[in-house]
Amino acid sequence: MIYKYFIFVVMGFAITFSMQAQLGFCEGNSGDPIFEEDFGQGTQNGPPLSAEVTNYEFVTQDVEDGQYTISSNLQQLSSFHNAPDHTGNPNGKALIVNASDDPISEPGLFYQIPVDGLCINNSYEFSAYLMNIYDPSSNICPNAGIPVNVKFQIWDETDTILLAEGDTGDINGTNTPTWNQFGLTFTTLPGQDAVILKMLNNGEGGCGNDLAIDDIVFKSCGDFTEILGENNETKLQLCENEVVNDFTIEANPDFSVYESHNYQWQESTDGEIWNNIPGETNAQLVIPEISESRFYRTLVAEDPSNINNTACNSISTIFEVESIEYIDPISRGDVFICDGIPQPIVVETNSSISVNWYDSESDGNLLAEGTFEFEPENNGIYYAEGTTIEGNCTNPDRVAIQYSLFDTPELFDETIEVCENQSLILSESFENVDYLWSTGETTNFIEVDSSGIYTLEITTEDNCVVSKDFNVETISPPEISEISQNDDSLIIETTDDGDFSYSIDGNNFQSQPIFNNIEGGLYTVYVQENNGCGLVSEEFLYLVIPDFFTPNADQINDTFKIEGDIFYEVFEIVIFDRYGKVLIRSDKAPFEWDGTYNGKNMPVDDYWYRIKINDKTYSGNITLKR
């Protein structure tokens, strides 16, 4: 049996203290534990309980019906959960019971123990943690196993008067280990300072009715006594360095158990170790001065002689005085902007504070509130002020952040074209800056004669660096690859595409390389680069053979002639009728036929020709109209 002392306040459902009482916890405040059984610690099972505590058989492993063990591992059979005790402490032990199905004397009773040192006419709370340790996923027992069902009883020390009892009801097996806490309240009788705790199995013995018990505790049960401040608050928050004088807190019992109340106020710096405040035994406590975190509570008893008796008193709720430290906003650094794009000044995000921005170290103008970043309109020093979310404590020390937006030259990348075999000057002109070219030169200009990307970096007096790229592209002069004739069109082709204009007279240029419906003859064809990067020319003989002629003396198409035939070294022509009769033959240019044969006019009809010009032969027909 192990005795422990710690603060444990339990609130629960109202019950009556009689034989008919059902399970439930103290509806008010309880005191410190006056009896605890946690079954110890260790890696070895045991030690066994005395025969006065249980008549079940102790075993060190493989707990069968009617047997028990005490172990730090609940899995004593393969069908049990592999789990530690309720607290989860390393090597902490629990009582493991396999319900008996033998018809022995008092077949349901498997655990009983006396508890003494109680106070007469006082209310108490008993509690314990239980687990059904059968694991249904093991599929060992049919129908998910027999549920655990336990009856708790509190008897007087003579074991003749039942003070209280209650049943847990069925506790079914679960696939994951689950501890459940059960409680029972009772009141001692006049002259009674001890009781007997009994635990009985209400369920059938057999597969699945397997349980673990841990942390059996008895505590005094008293009124629910709440500690409230001057404005009915349950907690007082102070800002760092703040001092409150003569603050009053008061105990407010609910009279659910006690008819009268006696007090002993206590103080703690950590909420765990408590010290009595000498002379403070009234319902009210006046705290002369508060500037640091503290905890306050009061012991409560009906009889003044029991006020410091753990077995008889109860403990109020805790009133906390919390001193909240200021939190400094953490700057992400001064902001120096060189690229001309505004950026905010920023402090690190912290869910514990809100941040307001000011233009002065103290007082000043509120510029923005509730934000971790702020974008100023002007250069200067700006101040971030942090206020805690809890307690609304504003740090008087604001965080200064420098904001500087520097003027820098505005540069834009350029693409520059230069004629082949020519050079050009790249330059920028700004005052009070340093220049650095990708060529290594440090003047504000450079001369280049080849294509490529030339980068210029400019450094200002504020050490801001901006840059631009000059993309120099070389323009090649035009080059004629071919001039051709397609029906009545003259077509010019170049070796490369470019920004070219075209002409067949050297004066009139057009953007398209095709000339339509021009007279036959010798032409000088021109192609010029529109940026002044070259002009080329080439001669071309353009031959035009008409489709018809009208020898009617109107001076329009009166003869059949070949425009441009005089420019060819070799020229031969033969004209014949549809029957193949040669009407005229010539090898001299210029050539003309007036539509006669032997001085007589030929009739209106189609006539055929065969023309040889240099190394090409053309044939077709022409219509004579009158």
Residue 24 belongs to a domain? no
Task: Specify the CATH number for the domain of residue 468.
Answer: 2.60.40.10
pTM: 0.57
Assess whether 217 and 237 both reside in one domain.
no
359-376 pLDDT, tens per residue?
999 999 999 999 999 999
Band (102; pLDDT cuts 50, 70, 90): low
Residue 18 belongs to a domain? no
524-567 pLDDT, tens per residue?
999 999 999 999 999 888 888 888 999 988 888 889 988 877 87
Please compute the mean of the pLDDT values over residues 469-494 and round it to a whole number. 93
Assess whether 200 and 87 both reside in one domain.
yes
Cα diameter, the chain? 170
497-526 pLDDT, tens per residue?
999 999 999 999 999 999 998 888 889 999
DSSP conformation letters of 312-329: T-EE-PPEEEEEEPP---
Please compute the mean of the pLDDT values over residues 140-154 and round it to a whole number. 94
What is the domain range of residue 496? 480-542
Assess whether 313 and 378 both reside in one domain.
no
- Domains held by the chain: number: 6
Band (107; pLDDT cuts 50, 70, 90): low
Give how far the C-alpha of residue 151 lies from the chain's centroid of Cα atoms, to the nearest Å: 52
Assess whether 261 and 388 both reside in one domain.
no
- Whether residue 332 has pLDDT greater than 70: yes
Average pLDDT, the chain: 90
Instruction: Identify whether the C-beta of residue 23 lies closer than 8 Å to the C-beta of residue 152.
Output: yes
Assess whether 186 and 169 both reside in one domain.
yes
Instruction: Identify whether the C-beta of residue 419 lies closer than 8 Å to the C-beta of residue 533.
Output: yes
Burial class (CB in 10 A: 0-12, 13-18, 19+), 388: buried
Residue 16 belongs to a domain? no
pLDDT value of residue 441: 96
Residue 587 belongs to a domain? yes
- Of 221, 252, 275, the one marking the end of a domain is 221
Assess whether 525 and 572 both reside in one domain.
no
Give how far the C-alpha of residue 352 lies from the chain's centroid of Cα atoms, to the nearest Å: 19
409-463 pLDDT, tens per residue?
889 999 999 998 899 999 999 999 999 999 999 999 999 999 999 999 999 998 8
Assess whether 236 and 97 both reside in one domain.
no
Residue 175 belongs to a domain? yes
Task: Specify the CATH number for the domain of residue 490.
Answer: 2.60.40
- Whether residue 11 has pLDDT greater than 50: no
Assess whether 529 and 554 both reside in one domain.
no
Enumerate residues 6+ apart whose C-beta is below 8 A from 348.
329, 330, 331, 332, 372
What whole-number distance in Å separates Cα of residue 529 and Cα of residue 307? Answer: 112
DSSP conformation letters of 229-260: -TTS-SEEEEETT--EEEEEEEEEE--SS-SS
Assess whether 430 and 489 both reside in one domain.
no
Q: What φ, ψ does residue 485 adopt, rounded to 5°? A: -120, 130
Assess whether 208 and 172 both reside in one domain.
yes
Intra-chain end-to-end CA distance of the chain, in Å: 144
Residue 130 belongs to a domain? yes
- Of 302, 324, 346, the one marking the end of a domain is 324
- Whether residue 322 has pLDDT greater than 60: yes
Assess whether 98 and 135 both reside in one domain.
yes
15-34 pLDDT, tens per residue?
333 343 479 999 899 999 99
- Whether residue 335 has pLDDT greater than 70: yes
Single-letter amino acid, residue 530: N
103-140 in b/e form (b: 16+ CB < 10 A) is eeeebbbbbbbebeebbeebbbbbbbbbbbbbbbeeee
What is the token pair recorded at 141? 């027992």
Q: Residue 389, Cβ neighbours under 10 Å: how many?
A: 13
Residue 20 belongs to a domain? no
Residue 3 belongs to a domain? no
Band (2; pLDDT cuts 50, 70, 90): very low
- Of 542, 557, 585, the one marking the end of a domain is 542
Measure the CA angle with vertex 76, ends 75 and 79; round to 5°: 65
pLDDT value of residue 9: 29
215-254 pLDDT, tens per residue?
999 999 999 999 999 999 999 999 999 999 999 999 999 9
Assess whether 466 and 519 both reside in one domain.
no
